[in-house]
């Protein structure tokens, strides 16, 4: 009898693999939009380093561990999650699919994941939260003069936490966009930046972002504003132990170890390479998320083993969104979580908390 190998794999899915989703996204987007997603800053050394860093580690098998049904459940700032994979705040989301973050948040909710809603998104904080209130619980903002007003607004809307992006006082030197003369419609970034009722407009904020010395904030200004946020906040864009300590002194409740997916300072170190030193500096209890370069379940596993409590996916979520809207993001989250679950069985980790440094080893050079 011929073995029916196909029957080992789910057949009712849109996409089988991450690579298929990536190719479908490339096919769905205009080449300059795809470059906007795919590209990084400068010579893209950091972009490549983020991906390469995961290749420096190996997961140790644990045969006969008896682990059959590992749990991917975890908790972050009091929020219960079915998977330690969080979707990133990314602006201009309707460039990739008309449903943008509405679709991302709904997929995250379906998978019991969290979704961070961006300030420069195509939809408002309120619209996304209403669409998927159990996932869209963190609102991202840029630290400028309007931060206190944003905090009040998202508190009223029902969000549980803020994510303050601290590594973007000016947009990185995005070489591909410059080569493409990429000039997207600003309205796609104006879900919150409406320019009405006291809210700044896109041009105003991006003008501030891009204009060195404009109203770019320092830690003291953020510390003062954050005292009135009335919500816990996460500092996104931490890459050194010293900055981690500065963010905690400013009142942050959690950190995102991130180089913005290689889109800001190039050549900055890979996020994964900096994670162990930051974890050692802040101690075992502080919640740490990692982003920049997460593409597969083994990347999730290694980030957790090296000190993260959860990971954030930027481009992987965008590939799913561009490929098939909500169903595409759903499939990305499913693939990442199922691969993580398989690796947990093979390495003998029954819970997310079991994934630690004892289960990995450096690759032989």
Binding site for ligand FMN (CB under 6 A): 36-37, 50, 88-91, 118, 120, 140, 165, 236, 258, 260-261, 263, 291-294, 313-316, 318
The two tokens of residue 35 are: 């470059």
Residue (165 or 347) nearer to ligand FMN, CB: 165
Residue (57 or 96) nearer to ligand FMN, CB: 96
Residue (103 or 120) nearer to ligand FMN, CB: 120
Query: Length of the chain in residues, anyone?
Result: 365
Helix axes 315-347, 18-28, angle to 10 degrees: 180
- Residue 179 CB partners (closer than 8 Å, separation 6+): none
Question: Residue 248 Cβ, how far from ligand FMN at the closest point, in Å?
Answer: 19
Residue (36 or 123) nearer to ligand FMN, CB: 36
- Residue 180's H or E segment, with its range, is helix 175-180
Question: Residue 64 Cβ, how far from ligand FMN at the closest point, in Å?
Answer: 35
Question: Residue 63 Cβ, how far from ligand FMN at the closest point, in Å?
Answer: 32
Residue (313 or 352) nearer to ligand FMN, CB: 313
Residue (336 or 360) nearer to ligand FMN, CB: 336
Residue (70 or 92) nearer to ligand FMN, CB: 92
How far apart CA 212 and CA 216 sit, in angstroms, is: 7
Question: Residue 50 Cβ, how far from ligand FMN at the closest point, in Å?
Answer: 6
Active site residue ranges: 260
Q: Using only C-alpha atoms, what is the Rg of the chain?
A: 20
Question: Residue 267 Cβ, how far from ligand FMN at the closest point, in Å?
Answer: 15
Q: Which residue is nearest to ligand FMN (CB)?
A: 314
Q: Which of 84, 148, 115 is nearest to 309 (CA)?
A: 84
The two tokens of residue 16 are: 């089988």
Question: Residue 297 Cβ, how far from ligand FMN at the closest point, in Å?
Answer: 14
Question: Residue 287 Cβ, how far from ligand FMN at the closest point, in Å?
Answer: 17
How far apart CA 259 and CA 167 sit, in angstroms, is: 8
The two tokens of residue 311 are: 């990971």
Q: 168 exposed, middle or buried (CB, 10 Å; 0-12, 13-18, 19+)? A: middle
How far apart CA 364 and CA 124 sit, in angstroms, is: 48
How far apart CA 328 and CA 111 sit, in angstroms, is: 12
Q: Do residues 287 and 247 touch, judged by C-beta distance below 8 A?
A: no
Beta bridge partners of 312: 86
**Ramachandran region, residue 42 (left: φ > 0; alpha: ψ -120 to 50; beta: rest):** left
How far apart CA 286 and CA 161 sit, in angstroms, is: 15
What DSSP letter does each residue of 304-354 carry, written as one string? Answer: HHTT-SEEEESHHHHHHHHHHHHHHHHHHHHHHHHHHHHHHHHHT--SGGG
């Amino acid at each position: 009898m011929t073995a029916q190998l196909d029957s080992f794999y789910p057949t009712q899915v849109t996409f089988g693999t991450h690579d298929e989703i990536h190719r479908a996204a490339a096919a769905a987007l205009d080449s300059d939009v795809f470059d906007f997603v795919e590209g990084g800053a400068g010579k893209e050394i950091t972009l490549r380093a983020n991906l390469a860093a995961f290749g420096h580690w190996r997961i140790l098998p644990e045969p006969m561990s008896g682990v059959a049904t590992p749990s991917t459940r975890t908790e972050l700032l009091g929020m219960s999650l079915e998977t330690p994979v969080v979707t990133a705040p990314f602006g201009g989301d309707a460039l990739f699919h008309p449903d943008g973050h509405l679709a991302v948040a709904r997929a995250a909710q379906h998978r019991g994941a969290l979704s961070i809603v961006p300030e420069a998104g195509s939809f408002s904080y309120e619209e996304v939260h209403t669409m998927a209130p159990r996932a869209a619980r963190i609102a991202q903002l840029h630290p400028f003069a309007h931060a206190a007003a944003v905090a009040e607004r998202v508190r009223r809307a029902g969000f549980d936490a803020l994510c303050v992006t601290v590594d973007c006082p000016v947009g990185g030197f995005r070489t591909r966009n410059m080569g493409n003369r990429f000039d997207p419609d600003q309205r796609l970034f104006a879900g919150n930046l409406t320019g009405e009722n006291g809210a700044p407009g896109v041009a105003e904020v991006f003008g501030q972002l891009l204009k060195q010395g404009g109203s770019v904030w320092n830690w003291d200004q953020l510390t003062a504003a954050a005292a009135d946020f009335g919500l816990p906040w996460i500092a996104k864009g931490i890459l050194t132990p010293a900055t981690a300590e500065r963010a905690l002194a400013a009142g942050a409740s959690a950190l995102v170890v991130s180089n913005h997916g290689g889109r800001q300072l190039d050549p900055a170190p890979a996020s994964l390479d900096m994670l162990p030193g930051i974890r050692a500096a802040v101690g075992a209890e502080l919640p740490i998320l990692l982003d920049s370069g997460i593409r597969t379940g083994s990347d999730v596993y290694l980030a957790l083993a090296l000190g993260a409590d959860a990971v954030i996916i930027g481009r992987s979520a965008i590939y799913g969104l561009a490929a098939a809207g909500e169903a595409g993001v759903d499939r990305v989250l499913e693939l990442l979580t199922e691969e993580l679950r398989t690796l947990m069985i093979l390495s003998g980790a029954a819970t997310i908390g079991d994934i630690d440094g004892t289960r990995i080893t450096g690759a032989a050079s």
